[in-house]
Amino acid sequence: MAQSQQPLTGKRIACLAADGVEDVEYTQSRAAAEQAGAEVHLISLNSGEIQSMNQDIDPANRYRVDRTVNEATAADFDALLLPGGTVNPDRLRMNPQAMDFVRAFFQQQKPVAAICHGPWSLVETGLVSGRTVTSFPSLRTDIRNAGGNWVDQQVQVDNGLVTSRNPNDLPAFCAKMIEVFAQGETVHQMATA
C-alpha cells in the first residue's frame, strides 16, 4: 500500500481490551488500522495474554498484551480503540486505572472509537454525557441514564468519537475510525468525570 493509501502511517493506536473481548471486533478493527499504516498496541489489565470470545460464549483466540494500563499512558498514543464483547468492557470498567486511561484520551483531546459494548467505558467514566452515540442496543438505557443521546445507526461520529452497534457494522466502523483517526479529530471533554 502506498503512503497515500496508508492514512494512519506514523500513528500509534492503543487498543484497550481484556479477557472476553469479541474476537472479530478486536481483529478486524486492529487489522484495518494496521493496513492503514498504524502501529497498534494491545493494552490490558494484566501482562501476558487475553482470551477473546466468539459471540460472548465460545473461546476464540489468545492475544499477547503489549503493555498493561499501569505501564501505558495516553500521551504515548494518537488514538484509542475500544472493542466490545460483553465481558471485556465489564472487566475494564471495574478497574480504576483502565478508566483513568480512557479519561486521559478525552482530556488530551485525542480521537476514540468504540464498538458494541465498548461504550460501557464511556458510561463508567462519565464521558458519554452530552454526546450522541450508538452501541449494542442493550446499552441504550445505560447511555441515556449517563446523559448521552443513543441512536440506532451503523456508525455515529460525535466530535472525534466514533461508535458502532455490533460486528455487522465493522466495515462502516473501520472506515470511519480510519478517517477520524487520520484527521486527528479531537474529542472534547463534555462532562466532568
Q: Among all residues, which ones are annotated catalytic?
A: 116-117
Residue 171 and residue 156 in contact, taking contact as beta carbons nearer than 8 Å: no
* The total number of residues written for the chain in this structure: 193
* CA angle (97, 122, 86) in 5-degree steps: 85
Residue 25 and residue 81 in contact, taking contact as beta carbons nearer than 8 Å: no
DSSP string, 34-45: HHTT-EEEEEES
User: What CA–CA distance (Å, rounded) separates 64 from 49?
Assistant: 4
Nearest to 107 by CA among 143, 148, 74, 72: 74
Nearest to 31 by CA among 106, 81, 87, 84: 81
